[in-house]
Structure 1
Amino acid sequence: MLPHPGELLHFSEDPSIRDFDPHVAATAQQPEAYVWTVDALNSPCYWFPRQCPRVCSWDASPEAGVPRVHTIEEAWLPTLRATTLYAYRFDAADFEPFGERPHAFVATHAVSPLGPPEQVGDLVDLHAEHGIELRVLPELVDHFTEVRERGQEFSGIRMGNAGIGPDGPFPTRR
């Protein structure tokens, strides 16, 4: 599920949102209220349950031949398989790039989707259809460190939930 030309996407597990009002996200690092969307490059980073920690990495130059890799913790795999995700399409003209190296696009005013939300489909299959390797590891923290040290493009999302599965903290390992 990628945006069409001139569009941006917002992913949600809630199919009943009619209008999007700017708000300060619980995980925000800035005080401004926004409506958040993503482009085609960053959309695959949101093909997950909202609270699922994940590390997405890729090489910015396609000629390098390095595949895009998304990694989650094994405790989240059943939730990934069971989650129904929806994509809302928006006119890109209503949004501005966020940050020096934009990873998202924001609006500071209320916006309405271009139409009803679209069900994204099987999230594991979606990765395969787009040639994205989906890795499942016992834990993410060491992997996240390795990805950052490699110098590839990356996104670590909901990393505050790493080590905490959908049913609570992981048991202590010996």
Structure 2
Amino acid sequence: MEKLYHISEDPRIKIFEPRPASFYPKHVLRHAVFAISGQLLHNYLLPRNCPRVTFYAGPDTTEKDRIRFMGNSTATYVVAVESAWLRHIQQAIIYCYEFPPDTFSLFDQCAGYYVSLVPVTPVSVRPIYNVMAEMLQQNVELRFMPSLTGLADAVKYSTLNFSLIRMQYAKTGGT
């Protein structure tokens, strides 16, 4: 199994206890520890409450959607964030915890989510002092936009693989 990770702004977590999955109440019926695959780790290399629209072309993505959303980008993945978050992103220090994969099972392949129903002790923790540099090393195009709502709506109805993360904190308009 591939390496699994969890991103936090807290550098002192010794054990991750299962918690309610309030964002998946109909799908995860027990408390769980969530992890992200190494392939999609970049989706979480941001401050926790930073809203973001993340997407990439999957096997079922149409050429029309690939051109519409990816354009001439040579990156495999796109992460779009609101411009108002730039300073916070530049100043953020986040911590990348690596988890042993043995108690995890795949929850959502498109989003790269894994869950464990038991407490998890991290294998290691690594500080990330330059969030943007870390993201850009991972074949990601980082886009800054005044508002994400239009992009989120368009991506949601496309054939792309996507995640809409922390959108409850997004601005609702273009200002």
The TM-score normalised by the length of structure 1 is 0.82
CA drift at 1:68: 1.4
CA drift at 1:7: 2.1
Taking only the aligned residue pairs, the percentage that are identical comes to 27
- 1:35 matches 2:33: yes
CA drift at 1:149: 3.2
Q: Does the 8 A contact of 1:59 with 1:66 survive in 2?
A: no
- 1:108 matches 2:106: no
Runs (5+) with no aligned partner, structure 2: 60-65, 67-73
CA drift at 1:38: 0.7
Deviations 1:73-124 (A, max 9, x none): 1111111111101011111112011147563111111110113x10123111
SS in 2 for 1:127: helix
Q: Which amino acid aligns with 1:96?
A: S
SS in 2 for 1:146: helix
Report the CA distance shift for 1:57/1:130 in structure 2 as closer, same or farther (over 3 A): same
Structure 2: how far apart are the matches of 1:99 and 1:131?
Answer: 21
SS in 2 for 1:136: strand
Deviations 1:104-160 (A, max 9, x none): 111111110113x10123111122222211111100000112222331111110011
Counterpart of 1:138 in structure 2 is 146
Equivalent residue for 2:8, pick from 8, 12, 15: 12
SS in 1 for 2:87: helix
SS in 1 for 2:54: strand
Equivalent residue for 1:56, pick from 32, 54, 57: 54
Structure 1: how far apart are the matches of 2:164 and 2:111?
Answer: 15
Structure 2: how far apart are the matches of 1:129 and 1:141?
Answer: 27
Counterpart of 1:21 in structure 2 is 17
SS in 2 for 1:97: strand
Report the CA distance shift for 1:152/1:93 in structure 2 as closer, same or farther (over 3 A): same
The TM-score normalised by the length of structure 2 is 0.81
Report the CA distance shift for 1:56/1:101 in structure 2 as closer, same or farther (over 3 A): closer
Runs (5+) with no aligned partner, structure 1: 165-169
CA drift at 1:6: 3.9
Report the CA distance shift for 1:15/1:159 in structure 2 as closer, same or farther (over 3 A): same
Structure 2: how far apart are the matches of 1:126 and 1:73?
Answer: 18
SS in 1 for 2:157: helix
CA RMSD of aligned residues (A): 2.3
* Number of residue pairs the alignment of both structures matches: 160
